[in-house]
Structure 1
Amino acid sequence: MKSLLYYTFCLVLFGVLLSGCSRKKDSFVSRNFHAVTTEYNTLYNGGVALDKGRASLVETFNDNYWEVLPIERIVFTENTASGEENRDPNFLKAEEKAIKAIQRHAMKIDGEERNPQIDEAFLLLGKARYYDQQFVPALEAFNYILAYYPKSNNIAQAKVWKEKTNIRLENNVIAIDNLKDIFEVESELSNQDRADAHAMLAQAFLNLETPDSALVYIKSASKLTKKLEERGRYNFIKGQLYNKLGKTDSANLAFQEVIDLNRKVPRKYHINAHLEKIRNFDYASGDTLLLRERLDLLVKNRENRPFLDKIYYTKATYFMNIGKEDSAIVNYNKSLLQKSSDQFLNSRDYLALADYNFDKAAYKTAGAYYDSVLNKLPVRTREYRSIRKKRENLNDVIGYENTAIRNDSIIRLITMPEEELTAYFEAYISKIKEKATQDSLARVEEVRNQEFFTNSTSSRKQGAAGVGEFYFYNDVAVAYGKQSFEKQWGNRRLEDRWRTSTKQNTLQGANTLPGIATTIVEEQIEAKTAADYIATLPRERTQIDSLIKERNVAYFQLGLIYKEKFKEFPLAIERLEKLITFEPDEKLILPAKYNLYQLYGNTDAFAKEDSLKNDILTTYPNSRYAQRINNPNTVFAADVDAPEEVYKRLYDRFKAEEFETLLTVLDTRIEQFYGDPYLPKFELLKATALGRYKGYEAYKTALNFVALTYPRTEEGKKAQSLLQKVLPNMAFSSFDDEALSVSYKVLFPFENKDLVAAQEFNKKLQEALEKVKYDNFTISLDSYSPEQSFVVVHYLSSRSQAEGLVELLANNDEIKLSRDNIIIASENYKIVQLHKNVEDYQEKITN
């Protein structure tokens, strides 16, 4: 009975206390109950979740030390999905706890909040939304504190966070003005709050690209903050800003402040501060030996292993600056071997190696390194576009260099005496066999080292060769097996009881293996003699002339590329001087000499310049090159013999469909401008004219010639594209069905030997159409083939309309214009013009 009374009393007491904790009652118990519950339950858990989320952001952030570091180590993406499944669970939990605290524990009575922890809840809500990139909702939370909790001790923090959010929303100018006002109004700001505000001011000025103003506030923030990690970061940024402003000494002092913090800051700040100081080193007056010792110590320190990629790169730069290029190359490669996650660092390593090989004229290697650079750089950057252009130019250099080397070698072999040529190829065959033997020996040794054959029972049962293939299919395995057998058993006959002790047991030495390997190699190498190789050399005069011509053009183009695109004047001079020693075609000599004349002037070789000047003026006094030498400051508005002007005139002929004369002139001009950079344009124009004049097959053949002859030019690439993408769709399979056609033409054929009659008919037809008021039709005189042309009436809407027009022209008493004609749909007219098969079309219509 007593226990029942006790429990009843407790329940009544609990009910009284619970009713006294209502959010609607402004009592001491109620206020303290909700305040304590909010602070030590809901807000505590929300704060823990916020800290976890923030720590996760910091840990996953990768600083780019090649640029000025951001103030906050947080990755903010441009587009964030609003669904909860795409949000950080920690920030989502912090937001939920803040909302729960507001909904369950707010005590707004008579327009005043009685729970002193609710402003903390709104601050937590704003922070959670800020870190979760919900900037507009975060701004609402901070504004709510400022509007409804004017006496809160979190007002200053709310103001600072509001401006941080404004900065994220790119309202930098507003944020700067408001933050400056906070310093004047809020006298109770703690040093840490002031440090945060000054740091964000620095970020706003960085966003506005005013580093000098940013420097003022980052210096202040580094002094005010009590957090050592922040102090190290702010000092590092301070050093970067000094570097950006060209104040190297001040930058080094700032980086030294980071170094002096030593283990009090993350190691990455410490190491990068060292490296920044080294990059600022003055090689003209500094102690390079001391600098080398510093770099070696950084490499040896075990704590620096995660940063060896950057240290090796800095060390490579050091060697480049002191002229030890071989050591620099070694360290660039060491940097790459660290497999760094820093893509930009990798791009710097590859770029340095590319430039080094380019300067050494190792263009194939340089091209490969430039490809690697492009793979590491963002596509939409100026540097990417610049390097890509340089890489494309290298394609031309590599192609022409390969042509020059190959043709030089063939021409040299062709001109050798027969005995010397035979001796050359015999030596070549010996080298091939020696190399193949060494490769085979190396492979056998590799098999041995890897224990190609195991003595395990399982291997014997499976009859395996040890690498997943049948034993006797592997010549190397068989050779090694023979050697192992003979070493153990000697030479044994194939007979019964061969293992008995009475049998011969001649053990072989270890030198048996090379003999076996050599035999295998000799069997595997195709038996080619010197005569076989000699037989492959070109011997016909036309073949040799073609090689010489191609070689000469390659040297000429190399000279122009080195001169115009790469400004490598010594290389350009070397190629052009060598070209002249070959005594090339006359059409290459003058432009080569003129370019050499310019190159000698650029390299201060004044005696050679004067000599070439006199040569050009004496030998070619009427050429445009002589005019340019005599009048160097005159801009020639229209040089009628310049390739550009000639091409314009020829293109006008193409548009006028003067194909016969155009092709004749094109052949002359192609011969005249042989070796000129403009030549591929003439060749492509010729291909297009042939297509219009002689049809599909002629067009295909001419395009193929352009693509193969000029593969590195824009015209060659365009021809290749046409061959691959356009020509297959143009191949004739059948005429189009005209049932659905809405456009027809009437063709009046004329022989080209009677073009005067065609022109007269064209004129009469035009007058006839005007007389019958058929102004919606047009007439043209179209070239069809070398033998035939068409007078064409266009824009007829149906076959019956075309037939009616023909009948009207023939029967009208005032016109009486009658002639054999072909009515054809516009789609099929295109086919006829392309494939020159009008007879096939007429046969199809007749049948």
Structure 2
Amino acid sequence: MASCSRKKDKFINRNFHAVTAEFNSLYNGFVALDEGKKNLNDAYFDNYWEVLPIERMQVFEDIVLPGQSKNEKFTRAEEKATKAIQKHSMNIGGKEKNPQIDEAYLLLGKARYFDQRFIPALEAFNYILYKYPASDKINQAKIWREKANIRLDNNELAIKNLKRLLKQEKLENQDLADATSILAQAYLNTKSIDSAIIQLEIASNFTKNNDERGRYRFIQGQLYNELGYKDSANIAFDKVIELNRKTPRIYLITAHLEKIKNFDYENGNKLEATELLTELEENRENRPFLDKIYHQFGNFYLNNNSDSLAVAYYNRSLRTNSRDKILKAKNYETLGDMNFDASFYAEAGKYYDSTMANFDLNSKPYRVIKRKRDNLEDVIYYEAIAKTNDSILSLVNLSEPERIAYFEAFVESLKAKAEEEKEKAEIADRNSGLATVNNPINNQIQRAGVPNQPTVFYFYNPTTVAYGKNEFIKIWGDRPLEDNWRWSSKNIVGVVDNAISTDNLITSASDEEKFDPQFYISKIPSEEKEIDSIYKDRNYAYYQLGLIYKEKFKEYELAKDKLQNLLKSNPEERLILPSKYNLFKIYELLGENDEATIAKNDIISRYPESRYANILENPDLVSEKDENSPESLYEALYIKYENQEYAEVISKSEEHINTFDGEPIVPKFELLKATSLGRLNGYEAYAKAINNLAVTYANTPEGKQAQNIESNILPKLANKDFAEENDSISNNYKVVFKFNNAEPEKINDFKSALDKVLENMRYYKLTASKDVYNATTTFVIVHGIKTGTVAKTFDQLLTKEDKKKIKAPYFVVTSTNYQIIQIHKNLDAYLNLNNN
């Protein structure tokens, strides 16, 4: 009992508390700390596509409330450190007599640090420096204090303190390695790469931990690569490789792969590089890293122009189901780029979709790929139309015997496939029986004395579940979990209204119909109107593809092919002239001067009055502003729209739509026309025009804008009910003068007179404007009145002289109801409410 006192400075008391603290609380605390660090390391996933951090610890942004912890092991370590301090501290005469208490504070700071409570950790380390200046742990406390400072973004302060520590103290072994490694992290944070490399060299030489040595050497190699010093980087990676089994295998494998990334494809030994990659692939110990090895194989073959081998290895990398989402994204992106370069734009779009799925939403890489994918939207859309309609038309043009032969072969393939699926189903049934016998659930039932059940629940049998998944994918494809999952494409509106979907036909057909060639033949379009519509859609798709390949992707050969096929397909008259003109420009770009001359002469001779002929005969006009260009005409028409000349805007828009049909400017005219229709004829006309624009030009910016209006704006405008009018609800009233079939000059004269009257009116600051209501009615409106009483007695605000000028009748309406009147053109309904 005498030895338990913390107030007596005696040998037995000091040693009792020192030994008890060290081998009880502190021992258990450090054990918990080590377990927590191991859990952190196991959960941490290094991103080898960027320079690795010096310390393996993921910092989370989550806010931790007082008393909470991210890891119970660190909580236990902190509790043990606190217990050691509270029960074994011997602070006698202002001096600590227990030599283990500084160790307890160090444990306390480390536990808080790894629990990501850096400010409390900093307090613990500072307490050691303040209270125990003679402690043998003083240098460790200084190093850990700077680690906490770095986590708090105090990098300059950490660099200053660590440099002073290295200068003033003679650190050795692990302390020196810890100090220089954390100093390297501070330099990395401040973009001082050269200084970081020097410190990492010292740290890797003095650390006792081979895991750390391998990491420091690997980071050195990464930093040399960032500076462009590939030879120095390879030397650093070789030092990692020399460690072999002394360091984690991930560092070893990635060091090999980083060296291959630095391979000199012009002067290097390609056979040696291939043999190294093959050796890495065939080593059984490297199976967890095959995703990275296959990816590097793909890069190696891609750089050696062996595209088919590159594609094979990228796909093998994807089939490993890697945890590395960036690796998967790079595989998909590279495959997408390869398809894009080969002009397989639909396939490229699919790969880009998969790439985006592996990037964080709204991250910079995601946005880059999103832009690429958006650029492909139109070409995928029109290629789908062209491909589908070409297939249909090829069937339409077959003779009856050819159709029968074609679908008999198709039915035979279906029968063979059905037989194969039947065999798989029988095998699955047999496996299901075996699985039922060995099923642990059934075994439990038997042990309980219950007779064996013939089957188990479907989802308890992994074989039947796997078979069901395969069957679903076989029938429906890979569908996301969402509403309307049966729809194969919800973002493309009306790809081909007349298209025959073979998959849907097979799914909906009975067993007898499915294997009957006549069933499929009966689905081929036969009516002339339907076939003409398919031809029309296909030709328009060809025209759009020609323009897209020419203007957006600079694929002039593809553009030429599409436009030439269009002109051979007896297209509509409206598509012929712009197609010929674009072909002329393509011939010029390809240097095919003879073909360009023929196309030019053909346009001038056959269409002498056209805008294209005028441009070809007077090429100097192209450099000047052409008043008859689509852009100039649109600008002029938009000015008329702003002047409320809606009827003329509608008629001119229709004229220009017919003139420039097929050109990119057309959706702009359509949107301007739809807006003018809404302003002149009201909600119903506007909704109809917007719907037509959204469907017809779905993949243009204007079409997408129309889709947004249809989904989000129109529902808000649909309400026709008038709001109650009183001063407590509304504080904004309008005085409206109505003119029916009046000449514009008369309305303008009235507004000018009203402007002068309002300008001279005392006590009120009012303004006037002119609004078109419909084709026959125009409003002149007074704004700025805040109460209904004043609005209804507006004429009493006028002087006798003013009343002689302002004789027109008026009605009063709130701003809210005026908006409803203009949207729905229901003025008569409003006036019949006896509000005025």
Normalized against structure 2, the TM-score is what?
0.82
- Offset, 1:75: 1.6
* 1:777-816 equivalences in 2 (<5 Å): 777-806=766-795, 815=804
Does 2:827 correspond to 1:833? Answer: no
Higher Rg: 1
How much has 1:579 moved relative to structure 2? 4.4
Cα distance in 1 for partners of 2:373, 2:51 equals: 30
**2:136 matches 1:153:** yes
For 2:117, the equivalent position in structure 1 comes to: 134
Query: How far 1:397 sits from its partner (Å)?
Result: 0.8
Cα distance in 1 for partners of 2:216, 2:269 equals: 29
**What is the alpha-carbon distance in structure 2 between the residues aligned to residue 584 and residue 198 of structure 1?**
75
Aligned counterparts of 1:43 and 1:462: Cα–Cα separation in 2? 57
Letter in 2 for 1:430: E
1:685 to 672, 676, 688: 672
Residue 291 of structure 1 deviates from its aligned partner by 2.9
- Secondary structure in 2 aligned to 1:845? coil
Q: 1:799 to 1:811 in 2, by over 3 A?
A: farther
Aligned CA distance change for structure 1 residues 424 and 332 (closer, same or farther; 3 Å): same
Query: Does the 8 Å contact 1:736/1:828 carry over to 2?
Result: yes
Name the structure 1 match of 2:487: none
1:644 maps onto 2:622 in alignment: no
Correspondences of 1:238-253 after superposition (within 5 Å): 238-253=220-235
Once the two structures are TM-superposed, the CA of residue 612 in structure 1 deviates from its matched residue by 6.8
Is this contact kept in 2: 1:195–1:225, CA < 8 A?
yes
In structure 2, what is the equivalent of residue 369 of structure 1? Answer: 351
State the AA in 2 paired with 1:260.
Answer: E
Deviation at 1:548, TM superposition (A): 5.6
Q: Does 1:708 find its partner at 2:683?
A: no
Answer yes or no: is the 8 Å Cα contact 1:700–1:723 preserved in 2: yes
CA change 1:763–1:259 in 2 (3 A) is closer
The answer as to 2:644 corresponding to 1:662 is: no
2:709 pairs with one of 693, 701, 722: 722
How far apart in 1 are the matches of 2:11 and 2:694? 93
Q: 1:162 to 1:787 in 2, by over 3 A?
A: same
Distance 1:212 1:559, change over 3 A: farther
Say if 1:803 and 1:67 are closer, same or farther in 2 by CA, change over 3 A. Answer: closer
The 2-side partners of 1:323 and 1:521 are apart by 51
Residue in structure 1 matched with residue 526 of structure 2 by the alignment: 535
How far 1:692 moved relative to its partner? 0.7
Judged with a 3 Å threshold, the aligned counterparts in structure 2 of structure 1 residues 195 and 570 are, in CA distance, closer, same or farther, namely farther
Amino acid at match of 1:448: E
Aligned partner letter, 1:96:
E
User: Contact 2:176 / 2:203 at 8 angstroms: preserved in 1?
Assistant: yes
Q: Separation in 2 of the partners of 1:628 and 1:286?
A: 57
Asked if the contact 2:414–2:515 (Cα under 8 Å) also holds between the matched residues in 1, the reply is: no
Out of 195, 206, 209, the position equivalent to 1:213 is: 195
- Name the counterpart of 1:440: 418
Cα distance in 1 for partners of 2:159, 2:169 equals 15
Task: Choose the corresponding residue for 1:123, options 90, 106, 112.
Answer: 106
Tell me how far 1:526 sits from its aligned partner: 8.9
Quick one: structure 1 residues 327 and 25, their matched pair in 2 at CA, closer, same or farther if it must change by over 3 Å? Answer: same
**1:561 alignment partner in structure 2:** 548
1:768 and 1:197, CA in 2 relative to 1: closer, same or farther beyond 3 A?
Answer: closer
Give the corresponding residue for 1:25.
8
* Residues 747/317 of structure 1: CA separation in 2 closer, same or farther (3 Å cut): same
Q: Structure 2 CA distance, aligned partners of 1:784 and 1:451?
A: 73
Match of residue 475 from structure 1: none
Greater shift, 689-698 or 669-678, is seen at 669-678
**Structure 2 vs 1, CA of residues 201 and 574 (structure 1 numbering), >3 Å: closer, same or farther?**
farther
**Equivalent residue for 1:44, pick from 27, 48, 51:** 27
Q: Once the two structures are superposed, what CA deviation does each residue of 1:61-108 show, in whole Å capped at 9, x if it has no partner?
A: 211111121111112223440433424222223223323333333333
- Does structure 2 conserve the Cα–Cα contact (< 8 Å) formed by 1:569 and 1:603? yes
CA 1:361–1:33: 2 relative to 1, 3 Å: same
Question: Retained in 1: the 8 A contact 2:766–2:784?
Answer: yes
- Name whichever of 142-151 and 57-66 sits farther off: 142-151
Aligned counterparts, 1:814-825, within 5 A: 815=804, 817-825=806-814
Which of 412, 426, 449 in structure 1 is aligned with 2:404? Answer: 426
Q: Quick one: structure 1 residues 606 and 165, their matched pair in 2 at CA, closer, same or farther if it must change by over 3 Å? A: farther
> Structure 1: how far apart are the matches of 2:684 and 2:707?
15
8 A Cα contact 2:581 2:612, kept in partner: no
1:141/1:264 CA distance change after superposition, 3 Å: same
1:734 equivalent in alignment to 2:687: no
Q: Distance in 1 between matches of 2:336 and 2:320?
A: 19
- Aligned to 2:337, which of 341, 355, 362? 355
Matched to 1:171, the amino acid is: N
The equivalent residue for 2:366 is 384
Give the length in aligned residue pairs: 767
What amino acid is aligned across from residue 404 of structure 1 in structure 2? Answer: A
Q: Is the 8 A contact 1:452 1:467 kept in 2?
A: no
What's 1:396 paired with?
A: 378
- Deviation for aligned residue 1:376: 0.6
8 Å contact from structure 1 (residues 810, 816) kept in 2? no
Q: Which residue of 1 aligns with 2:161?
A: 178
Name 2:485's counterpart in structure 1: none
SS in 1 for 2:544: helix
Aligned position for 1:259: 241
| Comparing 85-94 and 156-165, the one that deviates more | 85-94
Cα separation, partners in 2 of 1:325 and 1:548, compared to 1, 3 Å: same
Where do residues 156-305 of structure 1 align in structure 2 (5 Å cutoff)? 156-187=139-170, 189-305=171-287
Tell me if the contact between 2:733 and 2:787 (Cα under 8 Å) persists in the aligned partners.
yes
Superimposed CA distance per residue, residues 503-540 of structure 1 (whole angstroms, 9 cap, x where no aligned partner): xxxxxxxxxxxxxxx9953587595485763524526x
Which of these residues, 75, 88, 91, is aligned with residue 108 of structure 1?
91
Residue number in structure 1 paired with 2:313? 331
Q: Aligned residue for 2:489?
A: none
Secondary structure (helix, strand or coil) at the match of 2:541 reads helix
Distance 1:810 1:844, change over 3 A: farther
Deviates more, 1:568-577 or 1:166-175: 568-577
Give the superposition deviation at 1:834.
2.1
1:688, distance to aligned residue in structure 2 (A)? 0.4
Query: In the aligned structure 1, how far is the partner of 2:340 from the partner of 2:266?
Result: 26
Q: Displacement of 1:652 after TM fit?
A: 2.0
Structure 1 unaligned blocks of 5 or more: 1-14, 469-517
CA contact 1:453–1:466 (8 Å) conserved in 2? no
Deviation at 1:159, TM superposition (A): 2.0
- For residues 261 and 463 of structure 1, the distance between their equivalents in structure 2, rounded to whole angstroms, comes to 58
Secondary structure, in 3 states, of the residue corresponding to 1:84? coil
Post-superposition Cα deviations, 1:787-815, rounded to whole Å, max 9, x if no partner, equal: 22233334444554444235777988962
Matched ranges for 1:587-626 at <5 A? none
173-182 or 820-829, which deviates more:
820-829
In structure 1, what is the equivalent of residue 440 of structure 2? Answer: none
Amino acid at match of 2:408: S
Counterpart residue number, 2:17: 34
* Residue-by-residue CA offset, 1:579-625 (whole Å, 9 max, x unaligned): 45567678766765665566566656677678778888997898785
Rounded to whole Å, the distance in 1 between the matches of 2:393 and 2:750 is 60
Question: Could you tell me whether the CA contact under 8 Å between 1:749 and 1:789 is conserved in 2?
Answer: yes
Deviates more, 1:677-686 or 1:82-91: 82-91
| Aligned residues of 1:452 and 1:466 also touching (Cα < 8 A) | no
Is contact 2:69–2:115 with CA below 8 Å preserved after alignment? no
SS class of match (1:738): coil
Write the distance in 1 (CA, Å) between the matches of 2:232 and 2:340: 37
Q: Could you tell me how far apart the structure 2 residues matched to 1:718 and 1:132 are? A: 49
Deviation at 1:391, TM superposition (A): 0.9
The CA deviation string for residues 33-81 of structure 1, in whole angstroms up to 9 with x for no partner, is: 3333333333222222222222222222211111121111112223440
1:752 counterpart = 2:730: no
Of 37, 57, 64, which residue of structure 2 is paired with 1:74?
57
